[in-house]
Structure 1
């Protein structure tokens, strides 16, 4: 079919609306996860953890952190995998892709060398689970390379993560920030209809495009494959895929608003797309030496309508129960209305956190 031709403004609005960052706010955290496909989990809490600020930036003042816990642990409407919360509607195709996954050669070699350890971990979970990693003995035969610093000398967390990638174990809850694990056969719903691998891959690509609105076919950050329909964007030489449902709803535009986004927000994940469509070259300065930082170690991008106009450098002072704003960096000078809208959103953020506010009038 002939590609759809989109103006750059329409392309941005498509993406913003697909990410639930327009004026029409969703009702709850499950609705957010269903549309986005995933909510990133990260312990960095300069303001609040990503799994909390991501729903708040969509839902607003009515979102309460306990809603996420209830959706995951009580209602079982969301599940955790690979550091993200996903809607349960994605469970069956995800399980199919995990069972069909080929591990990297080095990881597979480590797993093969620790076959007895693998059996020990699964046996302990079957007999005593669900368990935290700390409750499982390390009986490994061959340690993994720990030079990257991502894993310590205890091999149990690494084994659990590897087994989760191939669908043998799952995260079934958390105690604080510590994951609780169980074997997949007990964690999965009885009679889960797992589709064939090719169908599962197609389903996941369609869900990826639903959350993206517009993406490149073979993007390593937003891999949508042949999902959706072909599109061209004014001024871009890239070949795009567009979600037809999002395209059909483009004229029904509720307008824009201000969004303060956690650095691990899914909207920011595909950096090349962010630069190509929004002209926003976002660099997270968390891992830069302090002397090289311009906007702050964990600055939150500020979306106004369909433009990234600034960055919020702020931190929660828990002892003083105050959100301390160090700076609001204006990438483009704000007009009077934009200034007030951004300040109002920052005030709403402090109110949601239940703390006072300094640095913003």
Structure 2
């Protein structure tokens, strides 16, 4: 483990852990459940990561499913996620992600204060009757799709590229953020809504704003392992965990004490993982540059001539290093996983080639198709 040093903060002495880059990467990879061991189930992954991103882009499979497959492996089935959300209520959907129910009591204080922007407050005030109409409709007839609910808005928001002229989805999202409605499940990609009191547990612990923020910061650090504190960007507080620095970096970081202690455990050598472009490990581009020396650019929104690796290429993690990009797509019409290219940042050793090929074969088997190499 890295050698700690002390740093005075007023009358408090904060121990600063000195880590090598290898140790830093190992902490992060383990925290993201991408080390040699596999997670046991959907809930375990969500509890550790804090969220599983939802995104419909499915060159291989939708984000929520590839994130879970990359942690659990061949035993993961999409129905397990649906069961955890819609039947067992161990996960809930909020702000484009599935989150563990254990986080809800830490989020509720902020949800009850929302919104803070004056423009949003004014829109909600002007549409108070509209909000009450929706809540009454859900109480009487829920769960419902947004398309089942009439638009009775008094004041409309102009379409912004993300939402159309129908005000119902906008109001539902706002009521979700206030903790008044909840998503009970989906029909395809369409969300079904109900009153929060009929979806969320009623026996949740209560926390003050300060307690909730502190505990949430600790949970976000648990998911990150090691991170630069930023309450808005990654949810890690400036006092979350313990202080750390990494060789060759000027960043002042926070490290999860349990992840730090786990450095004493044997290293199983890692494995190969293909990461969906919206995977949480890829979220902090600065940390990827600083600690993994990986400059990641999502090429989905680039013109085709400007793409180097492909429309939705998946970064290849080998152990604690990013070694290449997998450009592949599922062709259901022919039941094949078409591998357009495996881009190697540096030429692979024969053993590395075999590890990547084996993981591609595992991915195809999980999808129920064969592999077609271009």
Partner of 1:266: 280
Structure 2 matches for 1:41-80, cutoff 5 A?
A: 41-80=54-93
Contact 1:216 1:223 (C-alpha < 8 Å) held by counterparts: no
Contact 2:226 2:254 (C-alpha < 8 Å) held by counterparts: yes
Q: What is the alpha-carbon distance in structure 2 between the residues aligned to residue 151 and residue 276 of structure 1?
A: 36
Q: What is the alpha-carbon distance in structure 1 between the residues aligned to residue 114 and residue 209 of structure 2?
A: 10
- Quick check: 1:328 aligned with 2:346? no
Q: What is the alpha-carbon distance in structure 2 between the residues aligned to residue 103 and residue 343 of structure 1?
A: 50
1:202 to 188, 210, 214: 214
Partner of 1:287: 301
Partner of 1:145: 158
218-227 vs 269-278, which moves further: 218-227
Q: CA deviation at 1:112?
A: 2.0
- Quick check: 1:3 aligned with 2:16? yes
- How many corresponding residue pairs? 359
Q: What is the alpha-carbon distance in structure 1 between the residues aligned to residue 215 and residue 158 of structure 2?
A: 35
Structure 2 matches for 1:169-180, cutoff 5 A?
A: 169-180=181-192
Q: What is the alpha-carbon distance in structure 1 between the residues aligned to residue 156 and residue 21 of structure 2?
A: 51
Unaligned runs of 5+ in 1: none
- Quick check: 1:18 aligned with 2:14? no
Structure 2 matches for 1:228-267, cutoff 5 A?
A: 228-252=241-265, 253-267=267-281
Contact 1:6 1:231 (C-alpha < 8 Å) held by counterparts: yes
* SS of 2:300 mapped into structure 1: helix
Partner of 2:169: 157
* SS of 2:15 mapped into structure 1: coil
- Quick check: 1:349 aligned with 2:363? yes
Runs of 4+ in 1 over 6 A off after TM superposition: none
- Quick check: 1:101 aligned with 2:114? yes
Contact 2:220 2:236 (C-alpha < 8 Å) held by counterparts: yes
Q: What is the alpha-carbon distance in structure 1 between the residues aligned to residue 218 and residue 329 of structure 2?
A: 37
TM-score, reference length from structure 2: 0.93
Contact 1:258 1:304 (C-alpha < 8 Å) held by counterparts: yes
Unaligned runs of 5+ in 2: 1-13
Q: CA deviation at 1:204?
A: 1.1
Q: CA deviation at 1:215?
A: 0.5
